[in-house]
Amino acid sequence: MAVDDDKLASGLAWHSNAYWSSYELANGTADSTGGSYTVHPAVNLRTSGEGTFNDNDYERVWWKKGLEAVSGLQAAYEESINTVVASLDNWLLDVASEELENPNSTPSPNQILDYLSEHMVGNAQTMERSLVSVGSVTLNQASSDASGAFIPYASGPTGGRGSGMTDNQLVLNGNLFRLLCTSDSTAGEEIFNVTCSEVGKNGALATITITALTASSEEASGETFSASVGKTLIQDGDFTSSVGGVGNSVGAYFGDTASGASDFTTASGNTMRGAGLKLTASGGGADTHFIGQSFADLTNVLPLDVLCCTFVYKATAGSTGTATVIPFGTDYTAPTGQSVAIDTSSAATVWSRSSFFFTLPRDIPSDFGIKIQAASLDKQFHIDELIIAKPSVLQGVSMLKARDYPDHTIGDEMTFSTTSDRAGKVAEMLAREKNVNMPVGDSPTYPDS
């Protein structure tokens, strides 16, 4: 049976309207549906009473009965939220049996939403989105001088299934995140406990741990930077082997428009930690030069997973030209925003960090990897500490912790908050109650009303 998207959208919108009306009454907010329930009823009665009566009045029977009655209303509002969610679950089961050709004979509500998401992505259907963001990170140091190299990102693939990056609807408004260093026993691999002030339901995680990653912990292979098998795509970004025999290394890809990538070298000294090698693009004039490396191991990731690439770089004063770090592969073109292009004329001449997130394609090419490219470069450009890894995720925020110099110590803390304009009512309901990130877009076909 063909899926009737209009009817499905209407059913979801009906439940959303009922859900947010109850939510506003229970929580005392008009942020979601535009209602007028701006103050929690029990709080309203108590604060009004405090402005009218004296302490002895609180012991009177009529006051206690009144407060109990309003508290009972509060409990009823909260229970009505559960009633709406139960109705949504039953409705989804009916939808699965009558509308969706779901291969699972007894699916759960979340399995039905997963199936619906696949249908929506395949048929260019989207819900209204909430615009979300991650605030700036504050570093509170215990006794270290670490700089707090931490990369959070409030986005993921559409519904966890699409090919483009978009706002993650699991991100909640006013959610405070805290990373606390709980172990510094291994330098460069400090462990942080991550919590947030609000989590969704239905299996949403309340806390995770993140271990700092360091490129120097990997071993080089061959004559260029190489993926380390079984190490979650961490690259040997410390470039601990010099680039020799350019164009001949097995598993690596070099090329340019002229006569080879001979302008790429590794050199010791003046790296981020003051030791080891760095990759240097010496400048090739009008030519475009690149050095690339395919991933040797993809066993820890899946198609459409979000990965993070982070590295440090510095330019030479007075330089012109562009340096780009970008995913590559046969018949693959990196989507807009899923790479970094550095204008060397305005780039920092001291070691600075850059990063970007990218989505693995649905069909991963056998030669899929990362390419470092230099175009019209007239002076040296340096890059080091390249790491590519699958980030940790908590309540819609992808996070990667890179090593700092000096290293962190126990008690170091980083905090940030997330925001959401809460414009996507259906999507936020499903994110809060079912812990799912549905497909959303700027021109939704599943309206909220």
User: Is 341 within a domain?
Assistant: yes
Q: Are 355 and 370 in contact (CB under 8 A)?
A: no
Q: Which ranges of the chain have pLDDT less than 70?
A: 1-2, 28-71, 99-105, 148, 155-166, 215-277, 283-288, 296-297, 299-300
Q: Are 76 and 22 in contact (CB under 8 A)?
A: no
d(CA 435, CA 389): 24
- 269 and 143 in a single domain? The answer is no
Indicate the residue among 79, 108, 125 that finishes a domain. Answer: 125
User: Is 242 within a domain?
Assistant: yes
First-to-last CA distance in the chain? Answer: 25
- Residue range 122-170, pLDDT digits in tens: 888 999 988 888 898 998 887 777 776 777 777 655 444 444 566 789 9
User: Is 261 within a domain?
Assistant: yes
Tokens of 272: 């981020």
Residue 307: strand, helix, or coil: strand
Measured CA distances, 173 to 126, 135, 168, 421 (Å): 21, 11, 12, 7
Indicate the residue among 125, 152, 180 that finishes a domain. Answer: 125
User: Is 279 within a domain?
Assistant: yes
Instruction: Please identify which residue in the block is written with the tokens 């962190």.
Output: 408
Residue 351 has a pLDDT of 83
- 158 and 263 in a single domain? The answer is no
d(CA 241, CA 254): 16
Tokens of 428: 């936020």
- 225 and 343 in a single domain? The answer is yes
Which residue from 401, 412, 402, 414 is spatially nearest to 144, judged by alpha carbons?
412
Residue 31 has a pLDDT of 58
Measured CA distances, 248 to 245, 251, 265, 320, 373 (Å): 6, 9, 14, 29, 18
- 340 and 230 in a single domain? The answer is yes
Q: Are 247 and 260 in contact (CB under 8 A)?
A: yes
Residue 434 has a pLDDT of 94
- 112 and 87 in a single domain? The answer is yes
- 273 and 248 in a single domain? The answer is yes
- 220 and 88 in a single domain? The answer is no
User: Please, what is the angle between helix 61-98 and helix 109-122, to 10°?
Assistant: 60
Q: Are 91 and 11 in contact (CB under 8 A)?
A: yes
Residue 227 has a pLDDT of 36
- 225 and 346 in a single domain? The answer is yes
d(CA 63, CA 249): 83
Q: Are 225 and 254 in contact (CB under 8 A)?
A: no
Q: Are 144 and 405 in contact (CB under 8 A)?
A: no
- 257 and 358 in a single domain? The answer is yes
User: Is 171 within a domain?
Assistant: yes
Residue 417 has a pLDDT of 93
What is the domain extent for residue 292? 215-389
- 226 and 356 in a single domain? The answer is yes
Phi, psi of 387 (to 5 degrees): -130, 135
User: Is 73 within a domain?
Assistant: yes
User: Is 413 within a domain?
Assistant: yes
- 249 and 361 in a single domain? The answer is yes
d(CA 57, CA 223): 83
Residue 180 has a pLDDT of 95
d(CA 422, CA 446): 16
43: left (phi over 0), alpha (psi -120 to 50) or beta: alpha
- 94 and 145 in a single domain? The answer is no
What single letter denotes the amino acid at residue 407? D
* C-alpha 9 chain-centroid distance: 27
Can you give the CATH number for the domain in which 346 is found? 2.60.120.260
DSSP 57: G
Q: Are 262 and 362 in contact (CB under 8 A)?
A: no
d(CA 75, CA 71): 6
pTM of the model: 0.79
DSSP 111: H
Per-position DSSP letters for 136-159, written without gaps between them: PPEEE-SS------EEEE-EEEGG
Q: Are 70 and 41 in contact (CB under 8 A)?
A: yes
How many distinct structural domains can be found in the chain?
3
Residue 147 makes CB contacts below 8 A (sequence gap 6+) with: 139, 404, 405
Residue 234 has a pLDDT of 34
User: Is 442 within a domain?
Assistant: no
